[in-house]
Amino acid sequence: MKHAVFVDGQEGTTGLRIHEYLAKRDDVEVLRIDPDKRKDAAERARLLNAADVAFLCLPDVASREAAAMITNPNTCLIDASTAHRTVPGWVFGLPELAADQRAKLRAAKRIANPGCHASAFILLLRPLVDAGLVSRELAVSATSITGYSGGGKSMIAQYEAGGDARLNSPRPYALSLKHKHLPEMMTHTGLVVAPIFMPIVGNFYKGLSVTVPLHLSQLKPGVTAEALHAALTKHYAGEQFVRVMPLRDPGTLEEGFFDVQACNDTNRVDLFVFGHDTQVVLMARLDNLGKGASGAAVQAMNVHLGVDEALGL
């Protein structure tokens, strides 16, 4: 029997990409809303409650409103907005987070899809905090560079229209130091001090890389780059979508530059540890439209339904 799936917000960047993934599959029946009824609350509610899995690809307020429309206890909601990522009763949609995360996702009817920057940051830091190598009280900083597709349709149109020389250079943003991903970055790593987080948008369509610098003197005595790398390797052993690259990755060092876009068009995350006796740089890269958004949502759906986790990805 096919699983009924509805995407509320199917015209946005994330919704369109989810539809692309679902189009490859014969185990789902995609429920579609008539274009002239996209804002019809009654019709949206009908489809949400008819679905086995419903994706919410909406702004935060609209996602909360859509979640309140659900009366069918069997409908599993996967929310791609930031609205529910730290809300009790919602399971964080990152299967690789912890040993029991997949069991939680299988049982859940409310799943909050991770943010793109947050996914990279959490995958780097959570195993190190769990292993006691990075203190929960450590004040860390992180920089993320991402393609402009992360800004949605309006930013994509702005870049693709051209004619604005300011867009040729990388553009740091979120200078209020209150980026919307910070709560989940803390909650799902266990850090109790908000990171200083600097995201940067570049003049390329997609691809994302988060960098976390660490002074070894600020960590537990005796912690080395080798120990950090070993903890990541142990945590992600057997994971098909997370690759821990060789320590001080020779290929990257030989080229002299880090390829932010090397995971594009995959659902993969690559993790790196560079460093020497006193300093370490942790790096993670992913496709901000794949593992950073739509791919992660479909992966969470697969886990919930108990099918091959890589199906359609």
Please state, as a whole number, how many other Cβ atoms lie within 10 Å of the Cβ of residue 131.
17
Rounded to 5 degrees, φ, ψ at 223 are: -70, 135
Residues known to be catalytic? 116
CATH class entry, domain 3-114+293-305: alpha beta
CATH code at 116-288: 3.30.360.10
- pLDDT (tens place) for every residue of the chain, 313 residues total: 899 999 999 888 899 999 999 998 999 999 999 888 888 889 999 999 999 999 999 999 999 999 999 999 999 999 999 999 999 999 999 999 999 999 999 999 999 999 999 999 999 999 999 999 999 999 999 999 999 999 989 999 999 998 899 999 999 999 999 999 999 999 999 999 999 999 999 999 999 999 999 999 999 899 999 999 999 999 999 999 999 999 999 999 999 999 999 999 999 999 999 999 999 999 999 999 999 999 999 999 999 999 999 999 9
Q: Is 77 helix (H, G, I), strand (E, B) or coil?
A: strand
pLDDT at 14: 94
pLDDT at 52: 97
- Measured distance CA(176)–CA(48) in Å, rounded: 36
pLDDT tens sequence across 198-227: 999 999 999 999 999 999 999 989 999 999
308 burial class (0-12, 13-18, 19+ CB within 10 angstroms)?
Answer: exposed
Domain boundaries, the chain: 3-114+293-305, 116-288
Residues 6+ positions from 149 with CB-CB distance below 8 Å: 13, 155, 156, 205, 206, 288, 289
pLDDT at 40: 85
pTM value is 0.96
Output the six-digit token pair for 295: 């791919």
pLDDT at 269: 98
Rounded to the nearest 10 degrees, the angle between the axes of helix 13-22 and helix 152-161 is 100
